[in-house]
Structure 1
């Protein structure tokens, strides 16, 4: 047999040592002194790492991008790095580029259109603001993704929003909006509003029928537009790679988180209004105070002829306007105030004649 020409481990380590490359070897800790030395070296390395972190970038688990973080990030936390990592900048072949997509194309590389993410990020944040505003007003949001790999994405997106979030993960049935009377029945149409307030398309080109129905019913739409599609298909276009599942997960996650924030703002405002709601007794007292301030006499000394107010029922008052009169004013604020102002006017004229 011929001898092996592969270098031995000793020669290999010597060559690497001359080149300044260290190899990982298992250290034997035989006694307490070896263990103490090992702990001191590890502590020194930790101190050196902490001191150098301020002068450069250090990658750890907290600042490393992962696909799971993109699905639950807010629109303000979404960055260009996350879009690039998700592959949102990769378009179709240049021969398939739509002429109306030229404004969102950065260039080409190896025959592939590169999407300008400097346009994608602000348009994504604009769509998130629209979603948040609609959810804040109590509107319903529908996510549409008819590919099998998009089905779990639309389900998760609708689940984040809550009871106002809906999804379509299978085939779109033509006439679901325009012919909804035959789909759901006229009885349900009278009691339920079956049209959503916003529709988000993760693959618009495969759902052109649904987009036409939304345009017929005047429903705003948001869609991921690739380089082979016309951005005018939807109302709020997001130029990105529509074939990437990771890109669809990022965009649907940002929009669903924005919808969840809007729904939470709505519930917070409703709870605040409930806490400020007055009781019926407080409402009647406020009414009485407001009316008395509006009909208050100009001469304060004329109040000396008025007896104390006597309640007839809860929330209703009657005024004895003279000491001789035993008849009380009819129940009702308007009649009481008319009699009261008549008394004040007569009393003021009598005081003027006496003077």
Structure 2
């Protein structure tokens, strides 16, 4: 999907923070200052979205998951909807400390959810006392709220996509420790050096977040489609080779019989 600068402009992607709050490392992405607010160069934003989209499509095509992180109010619902639509994991509640660096423990918590579900299916749950059932239900609800969206993430993600790197600094640090590529919407008050793929953009307005994520998730969807297409082609090739092998084996048998 081609990135339209006009669409970015209409979504307010160009509005940065107050000039007194800026991070000087964002200077290459700032177009001008207007009424005490920095204006982001949308041509650079469009180029960076294209660059990030191409890289994310490759990661998706390789079969790796991309973990979306956004716990701020304006972004939560948008991220949940967009990433959920392409079947990618996301964190929109509080970031669980050690989510990446202590992934084994997080997986144990996710498995606990599955165990509770099994208890309910096989009837074990009903053998518990009323008080115990209430406690188990509360635990299940808490786990679902915090980790339900990553239930299918069985290994570390291939990349992180973050909205507001200042707010999600713990997630950024964990990804850096494990050399997981970081893609992010970076506003003028943040340090872009913390991110591998910078998308200079307004990370406070819901319209801006929605527009950038639309482009990003569309690129990931293309990568997933390419992966499916490659799989289907391989399957067709295997099916085409199978009858040839059968004919060849029949010929061998015939020769031996003669």
* TM norm structure 2: 0.77
Partner Cα separation in structure 1 for residue 186 and residue 42 of structure 2? 12
Decide whether aligned partners of structure 1 residues 271 and 106 sit closer, same or farther in structure 2, where only a CA change above 3 A counts: same
* Residue 187 of structure 2 corresponds to residue 249 of structure 1: no
Partner Cα separation in structure 1 for residue 18 and residue 83 of structure 2? 33
Count how many residue pairs are aligned between Structure 1 and Structure 2. 216
* Residue 130 of structure 2 corresponds to residue 169 of structure 1: no
* Residue 60 of structure 2 corresponds to residue 135 of structure 1: yes
Q: Is the 8 A contact 1:104 1:115 kept in 2?
A: yes
Cα-to-partner distance string for 1:109-145 (whole Å, 9 max, x where unaligned): 1111111112111001111111111111111111111
- What's the C-alpha RMSD, in Å, of the aligned pairs? 2.4
More helix as a share of residues: 2
Matching residue of 1:227 = 188
1:140-151 equivalences in 2 (<5 Å): 140-151=65-76
Decide whether aligned partners of structure 1 residues 213 and 310 sit closer, same or farther in structure 2, where only a CA change above 3 A counts: closer
* Residue 256 of structure 2 corresponds to residue 311 of structure 1: no
Cα-to-partner distance string for 1:202-237 (whole Å, 9 max, x where unaligned): 121101110111111111111111111111111100
- Greater relative CO (CA pairs within 8 A, separation 6+): 2
Larger Rg: 1
* Residue 64 of structure 2 corresponds to residue 122 of structure 1: no
Cα-to-partner distance string for 1:286-336 (whole Å, 9 max, x where unaligned): 589xxxxxxxxxxxxxxxxxxxx8837xxxx4387xxxxxxxxxxxxxxxx
* Residue 228 of structure 2 corresponds to residue 267 of structure 1: yes
Partner Cα separation in structure 1 for residue 234 and residue 100 of structure 2? 35
Q: Is the 8 A contact 1:141 1:197 kept in 2?
A: yes
Decide whether aligned partners of structure 1 residues 310 and 161 sit closer, same or farther in structure 2, where only a CA change above 3 A counts: closer
Matching residue of 2:245 = 283
Matching residue of 1:87 = 12
1:17-32 equivalences in 2 (<5 Å): none
Partner Cα separation in structure 2 for residue 183 and residue 132 of structure 1? 27
* TM norm structure 1: 0.56
Q: Is the 8 A contact 2:17 2:189 kept in 1?
A: yes
Secondary structure of the residue aligned to 2:64 is coil
